[in-house]
Amino acid sequence: MDKNVGDTDKLVRTLVGAVLGTVSLATLAGAVPLPEIASPILGVVSLVMLVTAATGTCGMYSLLGVDTCSVAGEKTR
C-alpha cells in the first residue's frame, strides 16, 4: 500500500492519538468524568491514530483518494 499520510498529518495524528490515549486511561481511572463506555472507544481511536501515523498509510484516505504527502519522494519511504 502506498504511503498517503504526510509529515504534518503524522504529527497531528501522533498528538491527537496521545491525547486521546491519555483521556482514555484517565477515564478508566475515574479522573475524568466521562461514561465508562468512552474509555475503550477513545482507546481504539487512539490506537488507530497512532498506527496510521507510524505506518504512513490510512485506509480511509485510500478509499477517499486523499493524499497528504506533499512531496512525491515522500511516498517511497
Instruction: Give the predicted TM-score (pTM) of the model.
Output: 0.84
Q: How far apart are CA 59 and CA 51, in angstroms?
A: 11
Written as one letter, the residue type at 33 is: P
Tens digit of each residue's pLDDT (9 = 90 or more) over 58-70: 999 989 999 998 7
Q: Is the pLDDT of residue 76 over 80?
A: no
Q: Is the pLDDT of residue 6 over 60?
A: yes
Q: How far apart are CA 75 and CA 44, in angstroms?
A: 27
Domain range annotation of the chain: 7-76
Q: Is the pLDDT of residue 43 over 80?
A: yes
Integer CA distances (angstroms), 77 to 3, 41, 54, 55, 72, in order: 8, 31, 12, 10, 10
Evaluated on CA atoms 47, 26, 22, 62, the torsion sign reads positive
